[in-house]
Amino acid sequence: MEEQSRTNQTNRQLHIYHGILGLIIAGIIIFLSPLGSVLGLYGTGVNELLLFACAILIAKTAGADLEKVFPLQTPTFRQTAGTVILWIASMILMTVATLIMTVLFPTEVGEVSSGLMSAFLSVPLEMRILIIVILPAICEEMIFRGLFLHSLLRPKIMRQRKWIPIIISGLVFGAFHGNPVRMVPTAFLGIMMAYLVLETDNMFYNMLFHGINNGISILSTIAVGAIPQESETLQLTEITATGREYVLFSVGIYLCFAAVVPFLIYLGRYLIHCKAGEERKKLFPKGNPWIPLMLLGISALLFVAGLVVMIGAVGNMI
């Protein structure tokens, strides 16, 4: 009897208020904690660890099964490859979104980019990798794709229509990045990471996705590490404020690149859902000719849109 009572207690599901409580505490840590302003990027690292502790503590206090809230399993090669392919597709789309934001809000994007770069360059490379790549990939995923996302699954309608909690959690993730300029790209990434954990029931893949994405920031800091911060800030502001036509031309280029995105997403989803003994025999199964036609149609629209934008940008330059 006692054993059954303990089993029932540890198998309790999270309620939505557990997830909201986690968000409230996360908001206090991210936006109100003095550690970031006092210790700089090192304080940000401490805040990440506090997010991790918050997620575990709330789930444990709620009596939830930690293995279900924070599922971790041995990754497979197929699903890992699918995750990387989905990240490549997402990066192309996110670059398009960021460039469009640059055209619309050049000064704001320049200031945000310069501020982030200055913060990143304030610590040694090893600490950048730890604080920018490893800790967020684990700690932020625990609170947003672990505690909060799983708390949304309590109502039956949310379990039946998983796209609802996926979108909600993605939008919340974007909002937690504070600046409106960063909100759209990060919300999209949040949606992709929520999709990964719900489809695979393995947080390894969304953590990997998050880590790869943040790792790109490390590469950019290495590339500009020798540039003085003052001149870097001025350069970014000048380029984004006065070269809108060039940025618009870049939008066109990346829209052309985005022509491969529909196929990348399809291939990534295919690999994500391939499990041992359950693989489909063909990537494009017979009897569904509309699938490649639809993908080709979307790709053609993206490519044509890119050409139109590039031609328009070149016309403005002339």
Cβ atoms of 217 and 186 closer than 8 Å: no
Q: Is the dihedral of CA 65, 66, 72, 73 positive or negative?
A: negative
> DSSP character for 284?
S
Helix (H) or strand (E) holding 113, with range, is helix 106-120
Helices 77-104, 180-200: inter-axial angle, 10-degree rounding: 160
Range of lowest pLDDT (194-208, 233-247, 298-312) = 233-247
- Digit-coded pLDDT (tens) for 16-39: 999 999 999 999 999 999 998 889
For residue 64, what are the β-bridge partners?
A: 12
Cβ atoms of 5 and 84 closer than 8 Å: no
DSSP readout, 142-197?
IIIIIIIHHHTTSSHHHHH-THHHHHHHHHHHHHTT-SHHHHHHHHHHHHHHHHHH
> Does residue 277 register a pLDDT over 80?
no
Dihedral (Cα; 298, 300, 306, 311), 10-degree rounding: -150
- Please, what is the Cα angle at 316 between 311 and 318, to 5 degrees? 95
Range of lowest pLDDT (65-79, 176-190, 215-229, 241-255) = 215-229
Q: How confident is the model at residue 9 (pLDDT cuts 50, 70, 90)?
A: very low
Calculate mean pLDDT across residues 252-269.
96
> Does residue 118 register a pLDDT over 70?
yes
Q: How confident is the model at residue 50 (pLDDT cuts 50, 70, 90)?
A: very high
- Digit-coded pLDDT (tens) for 164-181: 999 999 999 999 987 778
For residue 95, the tally of other CB atoms under 10 A from its CB is: 17
> Does residue 242 register a pLDDT over 80?
no
Question: SS3 for 224?
Answer: coil
- The residue with tokens 């304080």 is 43
How confident is the model at residue 281, as a pLDDT? Answer: 58
Calculate mean pLDDT across residues 230-258.
69
Cβ atoms of 165 and 251 closer than 8 Å: no
How confident is the model at residue 229, as a pLDDT? Answer: 46
How confident is the model at residue 233, as a pLDDT? Answer: 43
Arithmetic mean of pLDDT over the chain: 86
C-alpha 81/C-alpha 173 separation (Å) is 24
Calculate mean pLDDT across residues 253-277.
89
Q: Return the top range by mean pLDDT from 3-7, 10-14, 81-85.
A: 81-85
How large a percentage of the chain has pLDDT more than 70? 87
Distance, C-alpha 30 to centroid of its chain:
17
> Does residue 61 register a pLDDT over 90?
yes
C-alpha 281/C-alpha 220 separation (Å) is 41
C-alpha 98/C-alpha 114 separation (Å) is 15
